[in-house]
């Protein structure tokens, strides 16, 4: 006579797991902070945002007496204070691309999408986590760069600028918003391309190759088109004075935000439709 196997009852768990968005956010945050490249890239972005204004301030102060009137007129205190923004954006963009392409290169994206079959919450969580981290990091950096540069340039009255002057606070904080949007745009590009080298190359082409190429066009065409390029439109967020043939702060911010939104929409559609 065969023995009857005893019935085994599994204990009921007090808490049952479910796919909640805050858990996806926490999961992506764990990935973000546990990768060594994240810390180095963010540290580089923070350091560059401060280091370049400090260097430019010391150089300006030491050479001020020997500068011509034209050279002095070309030195604006806000341009000096925000000089690091244009460099830090590269570190932030490279990390933005890596945040998603690295998972494709290692194959770990399959595990991610197995845990989150709907896929889109993963993209939203990555975007939100990265945007918050970049903004929290860069806001203190641009504030420090402004006040440090003003401290170094205290002996040059022509370069004195108060944070409470009209438009100054908006421009300084606008630099941080610009870097954050660059990170979002780069992350979306990475989700579209799904390749690290391809994503970085695409970003570099849009931000650093395309604008100079516009000078090969007739002047009227260049003036009409260049102001709507992502980099030129986005930079109006931290411009205190707007040159001719450039957008206003609001228009530039909306145009650049539109580019970011379009990249996110394309990334979301492809993420749902494509196989891993």
Q: Give CA angle at 110 (15, 275), nearest 5°.
A: 125
Q: Do 253 and 237 touch, CB atoms closer than 8 A? A: yes
Q: Where are the domains of the chain?
A: 32-273
- What per-residue confidence (pLDDT) applies to 1? 47
Residue 61's contacts (CB-CB under 8 Å, 6 or more residues apart) are 152, 153, 155, 156
Q: Is residue 28 a contact partner of residue 113, using CB atoms and an 8 Å limit?
A: no
Judge whether 142 and 49 are in contact, CB under 8 Å: yes
| Residue 7 pLDDT | 52
In percent, the amount of the chain with pLDDT more than 70 equals 93
pLDDT band at 255; cut points 50, 70, 90: very high
d(CA 264, CA 258): 10
pTM of the model: 0.89
Query: What does the pLDDT read at residue 115?
Result: 87
Nearest to 181 by CA among 235, 141, 142, 145: 235
Closest CA relative to residue 51, chosen from 172, 140, 144, 153: 144
């Amino acid at each position: 006579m065969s023995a009857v196997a005893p019935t085994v009852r599994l204990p009921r768990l007090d808490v049952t797991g479910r796919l909640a968005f805050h858990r996806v956010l926490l999961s992506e945050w764990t990935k973000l902070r546990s990768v060594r490249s994240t810390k180095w890239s963010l540290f580089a972005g923070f350091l560059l945002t401060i280091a370049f204004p400090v260097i430019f301030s010391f150089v300006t102060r030491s050479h001020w007496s020997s500068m011509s009137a034209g050279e002095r007129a070309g030195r604006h205190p806000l341009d000096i204070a925000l000089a690091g923004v244009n460099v830090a954006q590269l570190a932030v963009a490279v990390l933005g691309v890596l945040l998603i392409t690295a998972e494709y290169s290692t194959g770990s994206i399959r595990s991610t999408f197995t845990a989150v079959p709907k896929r889109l919450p993963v993209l939203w969580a990555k975007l939100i986590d990265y945007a918050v981290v970049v903004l929290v990091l860069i806001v203190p950096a641009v504030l420090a760069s402004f006040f440090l540069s003003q401290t170094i340039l205290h002996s040059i009255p022509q370069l004195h600028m108060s944070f409470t002057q009209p438009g100054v606070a908006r421009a300084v904080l606008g630099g941080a918003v610009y870097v954050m949007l660059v990170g979002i745009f780069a992350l979306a590009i990475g989700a579209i391309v799904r390749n690290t080298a391809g994503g970085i190359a695409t970003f570099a082409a849009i931000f650093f190759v395309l604008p100079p190429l516009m000078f090969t066009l007739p002047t009227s065409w260049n003036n009409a088109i260049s102001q709507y390029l992502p980099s030129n439109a986005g930079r109006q967020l931290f411009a205190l004075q707007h040159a001719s043939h450039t957008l206003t702060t609001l228009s530039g911010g909306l145009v650049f935000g539109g580019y970011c939104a379009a990249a996110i929409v394309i990334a979301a559609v492809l993420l749902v439709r494509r196989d891993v």
